[in-house]
Every structure is written in C-alpha cells, then in structure tokens.
A and B are shown apart, each in its own frame.
Chain A
C-alpha cells in the first residue's frame, strides 16, 4: 500500500519529528538519457573535486549550475552522505569548467533537462565513498593496521584501539593513494543526510546580500559593453551615428557587429545611456518576409490542417492501433477542438550578461551559464583554442529556466574582448533582453477524440509550432560557427541539442505520444512552421504547449462521455499505480467527492514528464467575467527524494511559474519584431495572485527525476479545467487574460 507523505515544513524546520521517507530501496540503475556509459569520474577525487581544510571543512566543486534549483545543497548532500561528515561541514564552490566535470546523464557539461540529479546521483555518492575509503586507507597506513579494521565516523577515522584522526590531517596522504573503484554505497535505509530536509547551504548568503551572481562579477580592467540588437529578426547593421553616444560621459567607443552595436564605457550606466543614444540604420529583411502574429497564426492553422508544404507538412510522429477504424466504430461519440498557446519569454530575474577576456594564449569567461561546454567548444571553433585554454568560470545564476543554456551573450563578450584587447562585460537593457530572447514557441493543437462506453477509443492530435531546436542554433552562424562541427565536439549525438533531423521530437512532448493514458487507437502528427523567431528550451519545454491541449481535451471527452473527470482519468490509468495513488491523494486533499457549490469548480491535470508523476488540482470560483483561484493541491512522485524541502519549494515555484504564464504570458510579434519592452507589458505573477498551495510528496523508490519542470506544465490545463467546471466556459487559447476574463487577486 502506498501512503502519501505530506511534508509539513514547520515540523521539520522545528527539528522535532523530522519527516523521513523510510521505504527500503536498493540502488537502481539511473536511466541514461543519451546512452553514455556508467559514471566513473572519481580519478581526481582530491585534485579536482574535493578539498578539506585544517578545520575539517569540506569544499566540493559544484559541476552543476546553481540557479535556484538547489544543486549546491543537493550535490553537497550526495557527497557528505558517503564521505561520513556531519551536515554543515561541507560547502560548495562553482566550478571552472573542465571536461572531467561532464554530467554522465547529459553526456556533456551542461545543466538542464532536469538531469542534475539523474546524472550526479550515483557519480557523487561514488566520489564521496571513494574519498572516504582513501582517508581510511591513509589512516590505516599511518597506524599500520588493516584498513578494514578502521572506520570513518563524522569526519574522523577511528582505529580499533580507540585512536582517531580527523580527515584534515589525512588528506595529504589520502590524495596520493590510488582511487578505489566500486566502493559499496550505503543502502538507503542507512542514509543520515539524504532523503531528509536539509537547509540550503546558500540560504543565509542569499538573504544577506552576500550571494554573488554572474551579474555581480567584476574583473580588473574590464569595460562595459551595452548591446543594441537589430529590432527586426534577421536585420543587419547598415550605418551607425555614434556622435550622441560618444558625448555621454564615460563612453569611450562604439563597435558595430553585424547583428548588433555595442557601446563601450567605463560604467554600466554610461554604457546603457550611450546605447540609448545610438542612432542606427538597419538593413531590414525583405518586407514580404516580415512576420506578425496574424501570419504566424495562419501558418499554425495551415500546419494542423495539413496544408503546409514540403518540410512544413504534417509528419506522423506516433501511432497506436488503428485510429481510422477507432473513429469509424459504430456508436462512438466524436468530439473535436483546437487549442493555442503564445510565445513566451523566460524573463529571468538576472539580466543577461557575460564577461570575456580573450588573450593570445587563452580565454577566460565568467558567466551565469547553463552550458559551459558549449562555450569552450564554440571558442575552439572561433579562435582555435583547445578546451583547456578556455576557462569558463561558472557563476551562480539569478534564475534561468533554459534561457542561459543559450550562449549568445558569451559569444558577444568574446568577440568584443578580442576587438578591444581586454576584458569586456557584455550587458543589455531589460528591453533588449526581452526583445532578443529564445522564446517558447507559439503552438496550435487540433484534437479529435472518440468516446464509447465511458472510455476514449480513439485520439488524434495534430500540433504545429516552430521547432524548439531549429532556431536555437541560428546565432552560431552569425560567427561562422559550423553547427555540425560544434555538435561533434559537444558529445554524444543529441547532447548538443542541435537538430539535424526533419523532425523535432520535443514538438510532440505532452501529446498522447508520451502520455500515460491507455488509449487503444492514437495518432499524433506534427507540422513545423518556419519563421525567423529565436526559440529555445523553456521550463517544461514541449510539454508546456501540448499538455495544455491534451489535459483539457481529456476533460472535454470526459464531459462528452458524461463522466466525472477524475473517475474518467482513473479508468484510463488503471495500469499506473503511481498515478492512481497521487490522483487519489490530491483528490482527497481537495475534497473532490464533496459536491462543489455553485460557481466553484475544480480541474485536474497530470503529466509523466521526465519519469515523474505530477498531479495538480486547482479550485476556482468563477463568474462569467472573472475568477479567483481558491486553492491548489499538487501530488508529486519524483522518485527517490534527495531533499524534500527543496522538492516542495521547486514544486511550488514551478507551478506558480506556469500559472503566471497561463494567466498573462504572451510575447506578441508585429512588423517582424517582438512588441514587448519589459515587465510593464509582459505581465508576471506577484503575491496578490498566488493561491494557497499544498504539495504532497508521494513516497517512492524510483530513481530521482524532474521536479519543477513538470509542475510548470500542469498549471494551465488544471486551471482551464477548473474554470470550465465552475462556469461552463471552455478556454482554449492562452493566455487566459486574452479571453476577456480577469483573474482576480486571491490575497485581498
């Protein structure tokens, strides 16, 4: 029997009766995403990963970017558990990137795709275990006793006769020993640190202003370069009048690149002022090729209708059973509907910036990046430096959501540094940032479904959008970097994220091609549209588009079948115990079985994104003109949990991120450019619209999986389903604010 575990923060923060997941579990193999071999990265335990100071404080190099998802803490926990040191005796430093730090699940040195824990879960425990064994061995040699007789306890090695030595005095000896392989890892039942809520090791710094991010970094002698990019996609610099810019105090130089102009100054303020004063004439693309929302919408409609030509035609992606026969059965009730989603910007809190110093003998880069390997490989293709001559100094990131997986800012900083001959910090204003993002593409889904005897018997899902991947790599071409070459350098096929196939698998994520429902006849097809809008990874990626359509349409079919959406889903999930348990748990918590009062509605959405189980139930009070969100319950099964406190925080944050986007998020395109100029016209969530939110963590012995990404994808469909349940209005186009329907504040 599965029993849900509700994490109660006060209980574990108060220290009394810590909440512990106690299911016994062996270590299962972690799913390899890109098929690379088992991680063995422990060769350089002490030289590359760990140091122990005279007071016994352990410092771990964090090879994952810390961007709020808690890798500083999680990575330290993995090591501390096996190293046998008390929690609190370990800290982390960001890495200077090196190939040995490669994430085994990713196949390259990059943070993303919810792979930090998947990739490091075994690797860092192995590392901690090897280090412990080496310290024990060093002590045994010192005492001339067999190492098997010695024991590591709380940062010391104990001899059988009661003598002990602290790790700090053993490090020098241990570091020269061979690294033991295959040291057995602790069984989960013996975990003292893992699986229990641990305070984030960087929490105090983040609450006292001490935490430093890429945006805060300074390098001796650096100048500031504020960039102005071509407003229209694909436009080039034609002429620059820099008189007014150069008249701004502190501005020293104006440099025109092909796609942008940089204003160089001694301070950020001067550089930004100067950039504002630039008068730039652009060579705009052919007016016939200039796109806008109406054209994009027409292309998406053509896409789902199968009217796209050549590479824009519908490509079958997935087929189960005989969909045509499924629809043709006698007595089926067929339903069809179309859904749409808009372009979205990451709107990271930390503005995009990067520092580069290109010298004749090598390069240093300091940046808040998710893709350090991409930077050093691109630098090799740009300037011929081997990876070890390009030092990428990872900086903590002030939120990213996929945006900083792009290295556009780093490339600009490198090019400018090379021209200037010294360190350069490339910055941009918020309006530049929002107008030159890598957007979650807009999409359209056309669905058809057939129900019979209370069940879905056939499902057809046609979706259309820009490829998430085709456009992401366009900016490399600005610098003459060959994508195929870059792809070869980055690692195993697929790791780079470049797409050379006609089809982009991510474009069908969240359709029933990877949904968990048992539907006998399914067809999924996808059409891509080609417009010159930069697109890229986004928290929840393809799921953020298609799951909205899928989960809303499941509800539409439930109502068509005359069934309760919860019972309807449970029938479709009969072979999925993890989902059934989470659904029951969330339903119980929100009181699903009690009939809702008039005007109150509840809506469900679920996803299996990244092997996790995520269930959301939203409760709203809605009238014809508006609504308020009363409550949200999330039940999640993220596999083995490393830090329940962070899981709770990430689940809350992920859901609210998705909620803000569902309510107001929309990047609009007019005359071939982004219309939004900042947070004033790209509305973001604030406290006033945050519902009360309960997170239930299900116990699990599956491998660790995603957390916040999945939570971000369920917000929109659960909300739209709740609104329908409350007032009978089916909202099929996001954001919700576009439907003349106001979300009222929940905090009043």
Chain B
C-alpha cells in the first residue's frame, strides 16, 4: 500500500496514493487528469514532459513523485488569472504549434528560462532549449523565444 504523498500542483495541495517512484508525469496525467503535460521519449531527452518545480524546469518523466520537493506548475497553471503567460502569448502570436504535442513542454521550458535569467542573450537562450519537436517547428520556436525574451518576461504583468 502506497503512502499518501502531498504535492502542491498549480497552487493547490493534492494528495496522491501512489508509489514514490512513480514518475511525476504519470501522477499528473493519470492521477490528477492534467493531460496538458505530455510524455514522449520517457528518458529525459525530449522535454515534452517539462513542468516547473519551484519555478525551475524539470523533466517530469524522470522525476519520481517522491522526490518532488517544491510546488509544481504545469501548462494548465502557467497563465495567471490576468491572462496568458507572456511566453504563451509569444507562442500564439508567432503561430508556433503544428500538431502541438511537444508544445506544452517547449512553453514550460521557455517560460522557466526567460523567467530565471532576465536579460539573457539570445544565443544563451537558444543554446539551452534542447526540446525536440518532430513537426520541426524550430524556426518559429526561435521567433517566439526571442519575442518573449525581448518583452522582458520578468513578472506576470
């Protein structure tokens, strides 16, 4: 019988009765119904499963739920009541998504990057973005990342 694990997800404490080694991605998707977080490679390489833990980008397919030590934000919780996160806005304005399956992960990764290092140089940002997109939307990912960084994503204003 698994112990109860409590995590804060998108601002709300949630109690889960799952084994601590269950990857966070499955807990989010199947226990909490938060399917905006995707799974693709399952080994921490593609970034489709990216969420934030304490504001930092984490690949949830290789993060056991038992090791999650801070509040979790998923794509469903990225925007504030005031509106979309600036990275989401940049993504929509630049029409990045094709099939969209990888895009939650891209947006979460980009949001953590621009949030963490305001004023980071374009090359630095682009170097850090290692997510995979099989539709190969990279040309527009680049535009959207630059737009988001240029708009100064420092706070949810």
| Residues of chain A whose beta carbon lies under 8 Å from any beta carbon of chain B | 9, 13, 66-70, 199-200, 202-213, 215-216, 249, 267-269, 346-351, 396-401, 429-430, 645, 649-650, 652-657, 659-660, 678-680, 684-688, 690, 693, 745, 747-748
**Contact present for A268 and B138 (CB under 8 Å):** no
**Contact present for A650 and B134 (CB under 8 Å):** no
**Contact present for B103 and A207 (CB under 8 Å):** yes
Q: How far is the CA of A210 from the CA of B75 in the complex (A)?
A: 9
Residue among A199, A399, A748 making CB contact with B135, cutoff 8 Å: A399
Give 14 pairs: A residue, B residue, CB < 8 Å, sorted on A: A13-B95, A200-B97, A207-B100, A208-B75, A212-B35, A268-B30, A269-B26, A349-B38, A398-B100, A649-B95, A660-B136, A678-B42, A684-B132, A747-B126
CB distance from B39 to the nearest CB of A (A): 7
CB distance from B9 to the nearest CB of A (A): 13
CB distance from A273 to the nearest CB of B (A): 9
- Which residues of the partner chain B approach A678 to less than 8 Å between Cβ atoms? 41-43, 45
**Contact present for B35 and A216 (CB under 8 Å):** yes
Q: Is B56 an interface residue (CB 8 A)?
A: no
In the complex where A216-B35, A748-B127 touch, is A679 in contact with B41 (Cβ < 8 A)?
A: yes
Q: Is B69 an interface residue (CB 8 A)?
A: no
Q: How far is the CA of A496 from the CA of B146 in the complex (A)?
A: 45
- Which residues of the partner chain B approach A657 to less than 8 Å between Cβ atoms? 134-136
| Known A68-B98, A213-B101, A349-B134; 20 more pairs at CB < 8 Å | A207-B88, A207-B91, A207-B103, A209-B34, A209-B36, A209-B37, A267-B26, A269-B23, A349-B132, A350-B40, A351-B39, A397-B99, A398-B99, A652-B137, A653-B136, A680-B41, A686-B138, A687-B129, A690-B139, A748-B123
Residue among B42, B88, B142 making CB contact with A429, cutoff 8 Å: B42
**Contact present for B141 and A207 (CB under 8 Å):** no
**Contact present for A679 and B132 (CB under 8 Å):** yes
- A658: nearest chain-B partner, CB-CB: B136
- Which residues of the partner chain B approach A745 to less than 8 Å between Cβ atoms? 127
**Contact present for A351 and B40 (CB under 8 Å):** yes
Q: Is B94 an interface residue (CB 8 A)?
A: yes
- Which residues of the partner chain B approach A748 to less than 8 Å between Cβ atoms? 123, 127
Q: How far is the CA of A557 from the CA of B132 in the complex (A)?
A: 38
Q: Is B131 an interface residue (CB 8 A)?
A: yes
**Contact present for A349 and B102 (CB under 8 Å):** yes
CB distance from A696 to the nearest CB of B (A): 14
In the complex where A348-B134, A399-B135 touch, is A206 in contact with B97 (Cβ < 8 A)?
A: yes
- Which residues of the partner chain B approach A686 to less than 8 Å between Cβ atoms? 129-132, 138
Q: Is B120 an interface residue (CB 8 A)?
A: no
- Which residues of the partner chain B approach A690 to less than 8 Å between Cβ atoms? 136, 138-139, 142
- Which residues of the partner chain A approach B134 to less than 8 Å between Cβ atoms? 346-349, 399, 401, 657, 684
Q: Is B63 an interface residue (CB 8 A)?
A: no
Question: When A and B form their complex, which 6 residue pairs have the shortest distance between CB atoms, in order from nearest?
Answer: A209-B36, A398-B101, A206-B100, A68-B99, A209-B75, A68-B98
Q: How far is the CA of A346 from the CA of B132 in the complex (A)?
A: 13
- Which residues of the partner chain A approach B78 to less than 8 Å between Cβ atoms? 208-209
Q: How far is the CA of A350 from the CA of B96 in the complex (A)?
A: 17
Residue among A269, A347, A430, A656 making CB contact with B30, cutoff 8 Å: A269
CB distance from A64 to the nearest CB of B (A): 13
CB distance from A251 to the nearest CB of B (A): 13
- Which residues of the partner chain B approach A399 to less than 8 Å between Cβ atoms? 98-99, 101, 134-135
Q: Is B67 an interface residue (CB 8 A)?
A: no
- B99: nearest chain-A partner, CB-CB: A68
**Contact present for A350 and B132 (CB under 8 Å):** no
**Contact present for A649 and B98 (CB under 8 Å):** yes
Most buried by A among B34, B35, B48, B102: B35
Q: How far is the CA of A204 from the CA of B75 in the complex (A)?
A: 12
Most buried by B among A212, A249, A687: A687
Q: How far is the CA of A659 from the CA of B132 in the complex (A)?
A: 14
**Contact present for A430 and B43 (CB under 8 Å):** yes
- Which residues of the partner chain B approach A216 to less than 8 Å between Cβ atoms? 29, 35
Q: Is B74 an interface residue (CB 8 A)?
A: yes
- A689: nearest chain-B partner, CB-CB: B138
Most buried by A among B29, B43, B93, B100: B100
- Which residues of the partner chain A approach B92 to less than 8 Å between Cβ atoms? 199, 203-204, 207
CB distance from A692 to the nearest CB of B (A): 8
Q: Is B107 an interface residue (CB 8 A)?
A: yes
Q: Is B8 an interface residue (CB 8 A)?
A: no
- Which residues of the partner chain B approach A199 to less than 8 Å between Cβ atoms? 92, 95
**Contact present for A653 and B98 (CB under 8 Å):** yes
**Contact present for B136 and A652 (CB under 8 Å):** yes
- Which residues of the partner chain A approach B130 to less than 8 Å between Cβ atoms? 686-688
- B16-59 at interface with A (beta carbon < 8 Å): 19, 22-23, 26, 29-30, 34-43, 45-46, 48
Q: Is B116 an interface residue (CB 8 A)?
A: no
**Contact present for A687 and B141 (CB under 8 Å):** yes
**Contact present for B99 and A67 (CB under 8 Å):** yes
Q: How far is the CA of A635 from the CA of B100 in the complex (A)?
A: 26
Most buried by B among A649, A650, A745: A649
In the complex where A679-B132, A747-B126 touch, is A349 in contact with B101 (Cβ < 8 A)?
A: yes
- Which residues of the partner chain A approach B62 to less than 8 Å between Cβ atoms? none
Binary per-residue interface labels of chain B (118-157) against chain A in the complex, 1 for a CB within 8 Å, 0 otherwise: 0000010011011111111111111100000000000000
- Which residues of the partner chain A approach B2 to less than 8 Å between Cβ atoms? 249
**Contact present for A209 and B98 (CB under 8 Å):** no
- Which residues of the partner chain B approach A346 to less than 8 Å between Cβ atoms? 134
Q: How far is the CA of A202 from the CA of B38 in the complex (A)?
A: 17
- Which residues of the partner chain B approach A688 to less than 8 Å between Cβ atoms? 126-127, 130
Q: How far is the CA of A70 from the CA of B99 in the complex (A)?
A: 8
Q: How far is the CA of A401 from the CA of B134 in the complex (A)?
A: 9
Q: How far is the CA of A206 from the CA of B46 in the complex (A)?
A: 17
Q: Is B76 an interface residue (CB 8 A)?
A: yes
